[in-house]
Amino acid sequence: MRAAIAAYLGRSRGIVCTPDEVLITTGSARTLDLLIRSCLVAGDRIAIEEPGYPQARWQLLAAGMQVLPIAVDEDGLQVDALPTGKDAPLAIYLTPSHQYPLGSRLSLQRRLALLDWAQANDVLLIEDDYDSEFRFNAPPLPALASLDQRASVAYLGTFSKVVTPALRCGYLVAPRRLLQRVKQYSMLTDYHVSWPVQQALTLFLTEGYLERHIRRMRQHYAQCRARLHETLAPVAHLAALKGLEAGLHTYLELNATLSVARIIREAQTHRVIVTNIEACYMHIPDRQGLLLGYGGLSLEEIEWGAQRLRAVIQQEAGLERGAPVVKPARLLFKER
């Protein structure tokens, strides 16, 4: 399976690696935990995106790390804001292909600048490429790991988004010196991925089934995002969809005059579950909005939920009296 993953990454992400540089894990969260436990110690400084993926932040804090939030904008992590010299962190965890939660991506210029900065300051870059397969109207940018010429990047991948979370299967590609330490720790603590799952995924990769599946799902999720955008268009002056047209979630930025808490509560009464972006911040948020996840939903479910969310926003803004009619249905706009 490691050989199949290495070949797949070469085709899909331009990452040149050997099977010996691939470690199979039980998912991205476990991969990050292995890196933390085997390569870092309590008290080390680790930089993260602000806002960023909450679970990664919680894992780092639980391990006793000093977490340094670095702001992001429409071009991703603000590399110029990173400290240097003795103040530089030992590692950075980031999501450059589809920034979680804002949906932007790290520009090519910043990718190159970040790699130069990491080399100059001897910093490990932990690249979480969690849903890079799903791009709709945007050409791909090379993974940091594919640009890395100085062994500065640990690349985290998962099959949870492209196949199903039930597989509990991810992988790590890292420099050999680093991977050896992770493997040694993994042998003592890791739960191995099911052998039948590995065999099935190997066949899925080597026979081209995965790439055909991704092409089909890319079309479906592009339609999902378009339907969401179309349904919420009437309230675009109050709630604007942001970020790259990619991935399985989008960020809905709300006008400062609206109450996020009231919108979330009212949406729940209509069986629409959305998430406050506030949870993605370590410090006081500099914006307000909602995360809308459309993975695993049909076009009808997305339209159903978006219509009710739109009505709630209109009601909150005083543009509409009354509440939308509730029909028996299921919708969960959830975070990653």
> Residues 15-36: pLDDT tens digits?
999 999 999 998 899 999 999 9
Residues near 100 by beta carbon (within 8 Å), at least 6 away in sequence: 49, 52, 53, 128, 130, 249, 280, 336
* 261: confidence class by pLDDT, cuts 50, 70, 90: very high
What is the rounded average pLDDT of the residues 159-166?
85
* 187: confidence class by pLDDT, cuts 50, 70, 90: confident
CA distance linking residue 3 with residue 310, whole number of Å: 47
41, pLDDT greater than 60: yes
pTM of the model: 0.91
* Least reliable range by pLDDT among 89-98, 138-147, 204-213: 138-147
| Cα torsion 6, 10, 14, 16: sign | positive
pLDDT at 81 (0 to 100)? 96
CA distance linking residue 188 with residue 139, whole number of Å: 41
What is the rounded average pLDDT of the residues 269-273?
93
CA distance linking residue 74 with residue 256, whole number of Å: 19
The amino acid present at 158, given as its one-letter code, is T
324, pLDDT greater than 80: no
pLDDT at 173 (0 to 100)? 96
pLDDT at 331 (0 to 100)? 52
Residue length of the chain: 336
pLDDT at 272 (0 to 100)? 94
* Least reliable range by pLDDT among 2-11, 18-27, 224-233, 318-327: 318-327
Q: Read off the pLDDT of residues 49-63 as tens digits, 9 standing for 90 and up.
A: 999 999 999 999 999
Enumerate the domain spans of the chain: 2-207, 211-316
The amino acid present at 137, given as its one-letter code, is N
Topology at the third CATH level for domain 211-316: Aspartate Aminotransferase, domain 1 (3.90.1150)
C-alpha closest to that of 9 among 143, 169, 167: 143
* 233: confidence class by pLDDT, cuts 50, 70, 90: very high
Q: Read off the pLDDT of residues 117-149 as tens digits, 9 standing for 90 and up.
A: 999 999 999 999 987 888 777 778 899 999 998
Intra-chain end-to-end CA distance of the chain, in Å = 26
Residues 76-103, buried b or exposed e (16+ Cβ, 10 A)? bbebeebeeeeebbbbbbbbbbbbbbbb
C-alpha closest to that of 92 among 133, 143, 56, 136: 56
CA distance linking residue 207 with residue 219, whole number of Å: 21
323, pLDDT greater than 60: no
| Strands 66-73 vs 153-158: parallel, antiparallel or unpaired | unpaired
Element (H, E) at 240: strand 239-242
* 325: confidence class by pLDDT, cuts 50, 70, 90: very low
pLDDT at 190 (0 to 100)? 65
* 319: confidence class by pLDDT, cuts 50, 70, 90: low
What is the rounded average pLDDT of the residues 264-272?
95
C-alpha angle with apex 236: 235 to 240, nearest 5 degrees? 125
CA distance linking residue 60 with residue 66, whole number of Å: 8
CATH number of 2-207: 3.40.640.10
Asked whether this chain's domains 2-207 and 211-316 adopt the same fold, the reply is no
CA distance linking residue 189 with residue 142, whole number of Å: 33
